Amino acid sequence: MEITIPEKVLFETNVYTVENDLKARRGKVRITEDRVLFESVEELKIAPISAIRTIRIKRDEKLGFLIAGTIFGFASLILFSFLPHIDSFLSAVLFFILPTVMLTTSTLLIYWWKLTRSFLLSLLMEYGREVEIRSKNFDDLLEIANAIELVRIGAVRKLTQRKNGESKTLSYL
């Protein structure tokens, strides 16, 4: 999906995220003189810069995956400690097969935690809506936040019209 942007794009970067529904999503963030555009394959969000009230960058650790993986890992190690006392089919299921499944699940949860932890840029709008951009790279989100702030404080001037109809750029990033 490509959208035509009437004003000059001042900043553009790609962001990448793995969501909880196991989909890897790539998107592009563009900042123009008046708007922030979040463009991905599935959706397009356009937010006016004048409506942004708060910008926040935080680390999204996804600690639930790590805690669950650690608990499953310790529980499986405790059950494996009873391995020498196997004398029936039921004890084999309880002390060998169940801990093996739990250890596999623990490994997958810890791997998923390592894969999905990232940084989150939160833009709180004046009408109460929050737009979030997720990226593994903190510097990308910092560049986006800095570009939004430069546009908000007026460091980037808008295009001015010359008398003969040509547009002239006074100052850009």
13 and 44 share one domain: yes
Check pLDDT > 70 for residue 172.
no
What is the total count of domains within the chain?
2
109 and 71 share one domain: yes
Asked whether residue 152 is assigned to any structural domain, the reply reads yes
Domain hosting 13: range is 9-51+142-168
Phi, psi angle pair for 39, to nearest 5°: -120, 125
Asked whether residue 151 is assigned to any structural domain, the reply reads yes
pLDDT confidence of residue 2? 64
65-112 per-position pLDDT tens digit: 999 999 999 999 998 887 777 778 777 777 788 889 999 999 999 999
Encode the chain in three state secondary structure.
CCCCCCCCEEEEEEEEEECCCCCEEEEEEEEECCEEEEEECCCEEEEEHHHEEEEEEEEECCHHHHHHHHHHHHHHHHHHCCHHHCCCHHHHHHHHHHHHHHHHHHHHHHHHHHHHCEEEEEEEECCCCEEEEEECCHHHHHHHHHHHHHHHCCCCCCCEECCCCCEECCCCC
71 and 109 share one domain: yes
CB 117 within 8 A of CB 137: no
83 and 105 share one domain: yes
Asked whether residue 26 is assigned to any structural domain, the reply reads yes
Asked whether residue 34 is assigned to any structural domain, the reply reads yes
Averaged pLDDT, 51-66: 90
71 and 105 share one domain: yes
Asked whether residue 1 is assigned to any structural domain, the reply reads no
pLDDT confidence of residue 167? 35
Least confident residue range of 109-113, 126-130, 153-157: 153-157
Q: pLDDT confidence of 163, banded at 50, 70, 90?
A: very low
Asked whether residue 98 is assigned to any structural domain, the reply reads yes
Asked whether residue 79 is assigned to any structural domain, the reply reads yes
- pTM exceeds cut of 0.75: no
Check pLDDT > 80 for residue 1.
no
70 and 96 share one domain: yes
Asked whether residue 70 is assigned to any structural domain, the reply reads yes
Name the percent of the chain lying above pLDDT 70.
Answer: 80
Q: Which of 97, 115, 133 is the last residue of a domain?
A: 115
